[in-house]
Amino acid sequence: MRLLLVGPPGAGKGTQAQFLAAHYSIPHISTGDIFRANLKAGTDLGNQAKAFMDRGELVPDSVTNDMVKDRLTHDDVANGFLLDGYPRNVAQADVLRAFLAENKTPLQAALELSIAPEEIIKRLSSRRTCRACGASSAAGATNCSSCNGADLYQREDDKEEVIARRLEVYKEQTSPIIAFYQNEGILLTIPALGTVAQITDQAITALSKLA
Ligand code: AMP
């Protein structure tokens, strides 16, 4: 299965990606997670990305595209992959399409998680992230919902002033990729409402109908 998730920040892409990647036995490739890991490790890539991430802006395409293309050459993508947070604009979608066409491994689905804007702000400003595994938990949680780690923090870019910019960036730059994948005939949309398990079930049902 070769698929990607698209949806605004806070739609639950990271959470769903973990379950879907486990279900299909494919790697979960999150560009945000890769950037955060590089930031933590103090690499050149992390240093290049930091200022953009702190402002809620996109890291330049030149950096992001090369990073994803490199990741997609690892052995573990032989059975497919799940991209989360990439592409974030039509130019990235074009690069991805060309790269996958060259490798004769086109995308099979772009799964959109749709959610109302008021719900997004509520979720993002209250979510906490696990320093050990990167999974998200709701406000008030003392331990990570995924690995039970006790070190939860608020991402710099989940603070209210940055959230507003991330949502603008999503609307202006990322949401046009929905029409892009609709034109490609591979867009599937499900509402990101209900429990995590209900949304995962809906996603699997939608994906099982693929030709
Ligand atoms: P995320 O965890 O997906 O919300 O990503 C966190 C931040 O990483 C974003 O706000 C961007 O600054 C950066 N980022 C993640 N994915 C991309 C991408 N595909 N293109 C550019 N910047 C990205």
Q: Residues enclosing ligand 1, CB less than 6 A?
A: 9, 31-32, 35, 52-53, 56-59, 64, 85-88, 92, 157, 166
Three-state DSSP at 187 gives strand
Please compute the mean of the pLDDT values over residues 28-35 and round it to a whole number. Answer: 96
DSSP state of 6: E
51-74 pLDDT, tens digit each = 999 999 999 999 999 999 999 999
79-137 pLDDT, tens digit each = 999 999 999 999 999 999 999 999 999 999 999 999 988 888 888 888 999 999 999 99
State the Cα–Cα distance between residues 210 and 204, nearest whole angstrom: 10
Q: Is 97 a catalytic residue?
A: no
Ligand 1: atom nearest CA of 166 is: 10
What's the predicted TM-score (pTM) here? 0.91
pLDDT band at 211 (very low <50, low <70, confident <90, very high): low
Ligand 1: atom nearest CA of 86 is: 19
pLDDT band at 197 (very low <50, low <70, confident <90, very high): very high
User: CB under 8 Å to 48, separation ≥6 — which residues?
Assistant: 59, 63
Ligand 1: atom nearest CA of 31 is: 16
Structural domains of the chain in order of their starting residue, each with its CATH number = 2-27+74-116+173-208 (3.40.50.300)
pLDDT band at 161 (very low <50, low <70, confident <90, very high): confident
What is the per-residue pLDDT for 119? 86
The backbone torsions φ and ψ at residue 28, rounded to the nearest 5 degrees and listed phi first, read -95, 115
In this structure, the strands spanning 136-137 and 128-130 are antiparallel
Q: Is the pLDDT of residue 200 over 90?
A: yes
Residue 141 structure tokens: 């949680």
Q: Which residues pair with 82 in a beta bridge?
A: 3, 28
Share of the chain above pLDDT 90, in %: 85
> How much distance in Å is there from the Cα of 31 to the middle of ligand 1?
6
